[in-house]
């Protein structure tokens, strides 16, 4: 079994090998799979999105944002508070304009810091995940800390260009996924 460090390195290389057209095509396919999943989840209104760091070839979640905007859903994102390094929840206005922060993360120009208490679904960034819903992130722990403060029933959805690994050894602070959406299918994990 590969260590988290080995998986991070391997998946960074895999993503680096994708060209921009592949990233966009796979991101659109993930949005299509998500919309199929969403058909059975109509009552859900409050979605927390991460936005892609282009240089890391992350899933372009702006397709999901646009789809949710069209459906009239309420959207949130986060930014890291520089003082305490915790993630603050931002409510996104419809038609939000974005700028890139010092890490290259798209951040809304106008937003309101709110309590995360209404969030029903969180899209979780990752590098790799396994067949049980364990994930490998970028190693900073921001999302595990954030997820740990949400209600336990909040749905956690990973987005990945790749199929799952067989097994990733979770650490005690790790919070697993309920689903992971790939260009080909939606993986469901029992939690």
136 is in an annotated binding site: yes
pTM of the model: 0.94
18 is in an annotated binding site: no
Q: Which of 163, 170, 167 is nearest to 180 (CA)?
A: 163
Tens of pLDDT, residues 66-122: 999 999 999 999 987 766 667 899 999 888 899 998 888 898 988 889 999 999 999
Parse the chain into domains and list their residue ranges.
4-188
Tens of pLDDT, residues 122-174: 999 999 999 999 999 987 778 888 999 999 999 999 999 999 999 999 888 88
The pLDDT confidence band at residue 15, using thresholds 50, 70 and 90, is very high
Burial class of residue 177 (count of CB atoms within 10 Å of its CB; 0-12, 13-18, 19+): buried
Spell out the CATH class of 4-188: alpha beta
141 is in an annotated binding site: yes
166 vs 26: CA distance, rounded Å: 22
161 is in an annotated binding site: no
Length of the chain: 191
179 is in an annotated binding site: no
What integer pLDDT is reported at residue 104 of this predicted model?
A: 86
């Amino acid at each position: 079994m590969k260590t988290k460090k080995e998986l991070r390195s391997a998946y960074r290389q895999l993503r680096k090998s994708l060209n921009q057209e592949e990233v966009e095509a796979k991101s659109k396919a993930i949005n299509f799979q998500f919309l199929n999943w969403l058909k059975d989840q109509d009552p859900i209104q409050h979605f927390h999105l991460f936005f892609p760091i282009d240089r890391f070839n992350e899933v372009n979640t702006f397709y999901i944002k646009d789809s949710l905007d069209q459906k009239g859903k309420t959207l949130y994102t986060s930014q890291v508070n520089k003082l305490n390094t915790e993630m603050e929840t931002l409510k996104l206005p419809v038609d939000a304009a974005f700028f890139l922060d010092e890490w290259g993360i798209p951040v809304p120009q106008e937003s309101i810091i709110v309590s995360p208490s209404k969030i029903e679904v969180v899209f979780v960034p990752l590098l790799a995940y396994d067949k049980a819903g364990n994930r490998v992130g970028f190693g900073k722990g921001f999302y595990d800390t954030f997820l740990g403060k949400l209600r336990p029933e909040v749905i956690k959805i990973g987005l990945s260009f790749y199929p799952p690994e067989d097994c990733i050894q979770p650490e005690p602070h790790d919070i697993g996924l309920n689903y992971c959406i790939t260009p080909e299918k939606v993986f469901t994990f029992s939690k």
